[in-house]
Every structure is written in structure tokens, then in C-alpha cells.
Amino acid sequence: DTEVTQTPKHLVMGMTNKKSLKCEQHMGHRAMYWYKQKAKKPPELMFVYSYEKLSINESVPSRFSPECPNSSLLNLHLHALQPEDSALYLCASSQGYAAGGISSYEQYFGPGTRLTVT
């Protein structure tokens, strides 16, 4: 199984709502990532988890709150978002993080959640 799954595929939420994005992988990967991608732009890194611990936070606003309950799951909790937060949110996983060997750097991406904030 080389798949990263993300739910939901689409999400529309108001600025006062609280919602969560979910990501799951069963490849035994120990690093998981959240990216944000605006239309016609490259993905931008938000968070990196390594061995279920937050390793990188790219100065993301606190209205985005990541959580890694176990090695297979990654959540992104959303609260009080702004319309400019509308984007495609991508989850990825990799074998390791700075674990040495190029194969550990290859990231497997999910299809993303298309988020619209109204």
C-alpha cells in the first residue's frame, strides 16, 4: 500500500467554524507533512512531524493546529480561518526525515483537501 489518503476531499467552512482535515498512511513512514497550495503555485510547507513529534512549524498562524495521534495519522485542526486560507491542503509522508539516504526523502502525497473559507 503506497497510498496517502486524505479526508474530506472538499470542505467549505465559515470563518467561525471549527473543522479538521485528516490524513492517513500505512507505509510505516515516520515523517508526515502538511503543505498548503494556492492555485498555480507550488506547495508551501506548513508542518513536519517526525516520529510523531512536531519538528518544523513554518511560522504558521495558530488558527492552524496540527496533531499526530499516532504514526499513521495526521490531523490539521482549523479554527477561525480567513478567506485567504482557501487553498488545497496536501498531506505527505516519507520513510524518514533527515534519516540519511535519498530514499528517505521521497515524499508520497495524498490527493489533498480543497478548502474554501466563506
Partner 1 sequence: GESVGLHLPTLSVQEGDNSIINCAYSNSASDYFIWYKQESGKGPQFIIDIRSNMDKRQGQRVTVLLNKTVKHLSLQIAATQPGDSAVYFCFPGNFNKFYFGSGTKLNVKP
Element of type H or E holding 48? strand 44-50
Minimum CB distance to partner 1 smaller for 43 or for 66: 43
Half-sphere exposure at residue 104, Cβ-oriented, CA atoms within 13 angstroms: 9
Give the residue carrying C-alpha cell 533527515: 98
* Spatial CA neighbour of 93 closest among 19, 20, 5: 5
Residue 33 is a binding residue for partner 1 (CB under 8 A): yes
Contacts with partner 1 by CB under 8 A: the residue count is 23
Rounded to the nearest 10 degrees, how much is the dihedral formed by the CA atoms of 38, 41, 43, 45? -80
| Number of Cβ within a 10 Å radius of residue 82 | 10
User: Least distance (Å) from partner 1 to the CB of residue 34?
Assistant: 11
Q: Which of 17, 20, 30, 45 binds partner 1 (CB under 8 A)?
A: 45
Site string for partner 1, 10-29 (x = CB under 8 A): --------------------
Site string for partner 1, 73-112 (x = CB under 8 A): -----------------x-x-----x---x--xxxxxxxx
Amino acid identity, residue 74? L
Q: Which residues bind partner 1 (CB under 8 A)?
A: 4, 33, 40-45, 48, 55-56, 90, 92, 98, 102, 105-112
